[in-house]
């Protein structure tokens, strides 16, 4: 008997019929002798609906009090789906009980709308499991030291599931979603993208941070820190699929770097379209100039990605960095109002909101030379100019014009042999199963 955490996304919980299928699937695992904890998201679209209602009422500038109430409001979406799933399980003859995050409790800091988990008390969960019940815990939410409801930000249910799995020392955390695993790249861009049978946590963390939408990056960080085995699989397979087959399906995110994984120089290609490049031109090439520019940006709670400082010419240099396009207006305001006045005459701002970032990721890059040059040569053959480059031990990222992103991804996918490798499994269509 194993202790398993199931996490179901909003699409998987999107209708009462889908909730009923989730209940049947969970009950199947329990009948096989496993203890199961379920962490569901709100029903698809529900969080957006609730926040849209608030947007009709709230002031233009959100106060701390308003953010508190937004968390109290948004948390009700998961509360509803958890209660509905408990009802569906009981209708299947399976004892079940639902808990909100604060009933467990899941303790967080007080950063409303983006709280971070500080601790989870697993005692109450274990008591209910010992009584033969399925325990359902609302994802995405917790309670701070003052007793206020908090939420973890978009995608926070993944993080909740992994954190709960760590707290109760679960044998595995299964992330059920609307895709059947982690692919070499987005199948909507490359139709013959392949599903990976396994991927390392290190690779998954890079892919999540570079634009892959399968798992929320904080959940991968949590899994790596507490060594929680993760598997990504589809909730749209028939609920009565053979349990052994289901347990082996999807993509296993593992700590092991086996021989097959070493043979894959590049395991996946990630990309983001919502990037913007900021260039501060003609700045003094002196110690501390990077902090002078990026310090105020960090103080505004804006994340910076790729950074380049050009060679000095006559004591002046150009400093460029990328940010999320959603932060573009705020960055420009900070640079114009706070940074440029400190840099003296001649410094100016240049920007470009029509860029994208494309990244190749693979454990095999540690032990293979020439990977970056293959990437650059492939893009060159397609006439794609590289504006910025960023590297780590297992990834290389380039910033290019947004209009070339799909061409770049397709070309690189082919260049690195990802159209069909021996260590991956070609997914079958639903009508072939």
Annotated binding site: 7-10, 47, 78, 177-178, 183, 188, 213-214
Return binding residues for substrate: 47, 78
Distance CA 320, CA 174 (A): 41
Query: Is 8 in a helix, a strand, or coil?
Result: strand
- The upper half-sphere exposure of residue 70, i.e. CA atoms within 13 Å in the direction of its Cβ, equals 26
Task: State the alpha helices, DSSP H only, in 62-107.
Answer: 64-91
| Phi and psi at residue 149, to the nearest 5° | -70, 135
| Residues written for the chain | 433
Return binding residues for ATP: 7-10, 177-178, 183, 188, 213-214
Distance CA 61, CA 68 (A): 14
Sheet holding 134-137, edge to edge: 96-99, 134-137, 35-40, 3-8, 172-177, 230-234, 251-254, 198-200
Cα distances (angstroms) measured from residue 211 to each of 77, 271, 360: 26, 5, 11
CA-wise closest residue to 325 among 301, 297, 351: 351
Residue 193 · residue 186 · CB < 8 Å: yes
Sheet holding 395-401, edge to edge: 304-309, 316-324, 268-284, 348-361, 395-401, 388-392
375: its two tokens: 């990437």
């Amino acid at each position: 008997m194993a202790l398993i955490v199931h996490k179901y996304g909003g699409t998987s919980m999107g209708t009462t019929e889908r909730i009923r299928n989730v209940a049947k699937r969970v009950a199947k695992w329990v009948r096989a002798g496993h203890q199961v904890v379920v962490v569901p998201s709100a029903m698809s679209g529900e969080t957006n609906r609730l926040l849209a209602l608030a947007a009709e009422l709230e002031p233009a500038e959100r106060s701390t009090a308003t953010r508190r109430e937004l968390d109290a409001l948004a948390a009700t979406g998961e509360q509803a789906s958890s209660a509905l799933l408990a009802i569906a399980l009981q209708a299947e003859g399976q004892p079940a009980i639902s808990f909100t995050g604060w009933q467990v409790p899941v303790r967080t800091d007080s950063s409303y709308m983006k709280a971070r988990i500080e601790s989870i008390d697993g005692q109450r969960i274990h008591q209910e499991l010992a009584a033969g019940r399925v325990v359902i815990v609302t994802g995405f939410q917790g309670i701070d030291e003052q007793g206020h409801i908090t939420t973890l930000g978009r995608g926070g249910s993944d993080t909740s599931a992994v954190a709960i799995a760590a707290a109760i020392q679960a044998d595995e955390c299964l992330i059920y979603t609307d895709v059947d695993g982690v692919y070499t790249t987005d199948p909507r861009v490359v139709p013959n993208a392949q599903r990976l049978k396994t991927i390392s946590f290190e690779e998954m963390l890079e892919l999540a941070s570079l634009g892959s939408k399968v798992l929320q990056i904080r959940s991968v960080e949590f899994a790596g820190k507490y060594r929680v085995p993760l598997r990504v699989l589809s909730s749209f397979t028939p609920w009565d699929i053979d349990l052994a087959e289901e347990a082996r399906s999807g993509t296993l995110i593992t700590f092991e770097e086996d021989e097959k994984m070493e043979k894959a120089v590049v395991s996946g290609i990630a990309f983001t379209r919502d990037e913007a490049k900021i260039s501060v031109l003609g700045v003094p090439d002196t110690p501390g100039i990077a902090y002078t520019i990026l310090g105020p940006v960090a103080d505004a709670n804006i994340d910076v990605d790729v950074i380049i400082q050009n060679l000095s010419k006559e004591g002046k240099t150009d400093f460029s960095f990328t940010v999320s396009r959603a932060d573009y207006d705020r960055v420009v305001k900070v640079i114009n109002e706070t940074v440029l006045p400190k840099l003296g005459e001649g410094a100016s701002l240049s920007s470009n909101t029509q860029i994208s970032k494309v990244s190749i990721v693979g454990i095999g890059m540690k032990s293979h030379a020439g990977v970056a040059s293959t990437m650059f040569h492939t893009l060159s053959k397609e006439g794609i100019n590289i504006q910025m480059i960023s590297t780590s031990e297992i990834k290389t990222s380039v910033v290019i014009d947004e209009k070339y992103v799909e061409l770049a991804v397709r070309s690189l996918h082919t260049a690195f042999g990802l159209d069909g490798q021996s260590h991956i499994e070609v997914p079958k269509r639903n009508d072939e199963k």
